Structure 1
Amino acid sequence: MPENIDADAGLDWARARGKGALAERMGIDFVEFTTERCVATMPVEGNTQPAGLLHGGAYVVLGESLGSMAANMHAGPGRLAVGVDINATHTRSATSGVVTGTCVPLHLGRSMTVHEIVVTDEQGRRCSTIRITNVIKDSPGAS
């Protein structure tokens, strides 16, 4: 499990690992990645519900993308973090521009992690708060 990985190495790790097809489709972009703080952006356009608001599920996809990646960085080689619980509270609606998710660890254990992701609009207003719990296990095929 990496201790304090520096920002450049963390971002390189995240980009090399890949963000997955859904995150790609939604336009999520990792901009900062360390063990203590991960940040990504996502456009509102293309991720809205019929009323023109950012879809609540889009907030959750951004949060899970950040929290799961952060948990996997913490897990280290030969281990795999998988989500077992996620919840979100939406407190404001974004209608345009870009939202930013900032992920910080609440608990980094040997077998479990908990991360909080705060999603803000371009004015810095909190739109959603997401909490994700991941269980860490040996990767399939790891000895």
Structure 2
Amino acid sequence: MFESIKRDLSFIQGLLEGDVNHQHHVEYRGLSRLVDVVDLLVESVEQLERRLSELEEYVETIDEDLNELELLCYDDDEEDDEWDHEIEVTCPECGEDVTIDEDDLDDENVELLCPKCHTVLDLEEIDEEDVETVISED
């Protein structure tokens, strides 16, 4: 595409340079300048096309790498998500069974309330006798 445009511009420039009789006319100088501007635009667009092509290749490479990374990360998570680890705790006040996530046992900011008597259960004081691990599917 750019080669044919450059060839046409060269042809027009040759015509202008060969017309010695009209080189002092305003139209000649305007047309000559216009051909120079079009030549600069063609070169700029050609450079942008090359850069765009390089960027497209780079984005495709990043996309492939990201896809591989997602497969590595999410495949492991999907296996872990198949089974949630929940703990069943018995309320010492009313005897209600309360189910909590196993990860919440390590979090100091979590307050566990009994849904029946609204007693705050202290997760640090939970005995092994009060805990029963329940595995449930999503």
TM-score, with length taken from structure 2: 0.19
Which protein shows a greater Rg? 2
TM-score, with length taken from structure 1: 0.19
Report which of the two has the higher share of strand.
Answer: 1
Report which of the two has the higher share of helix.
Answer: 2
